[in-house]
Amino acid sequence: MYKFIITIDCQPGTRSKILDRAPGAQAATRAEPGCIAYDFYTCTDDPDRLVFVETWTDEAAHGFHMEQQHTKDFIAFHEPFHRNFTFETINVS
């Protein structure tokens, strides 16, 4: 399994813009081969922090995901709203 957490600290006032598009990205991603889970959350102690948790069958499935146009479009859309961005790979034991 290939699993990771993406944390986006949004610039003030931009969180809702990302959240408005996130369900469409989620549906398209969940339909991809190799996607086990794709979920997103808002932190309770920081409303401008979004957390995306993705689980894939393997790194190749995630690589395929990164080449899809809907993925490229969603990333290009939300990147200008980042104050900070963290990508953490998780080892599943």
Cα dihedral angle (92, 31, 53, 18), rounded to 10 degrees?
A: 170
CA 33 to the chain's CA centroid:
17
Break the chain into its structural domains and give their ranges: 2-78
The pTM of the whole model exceeds 0.85: yes
- Helices then strands, counting H and E runs in the chain, come out as 3, 4
Average pLDDT of the residues in 40-62 = 95
Q: Please report the pLDDT score of residue 92 as a whole number.
A: 74
CATH class of 2-78: alpha beta
Cα dihedral angle (70, 30, 47, 14), rounded to 10 degrees?
A: 10
Residue 46 dihedral angles phi and psi, to the nearest 5°: -150, 95
Q: Please report the pLDDT score of residue 8 as a whole number.
A: 97
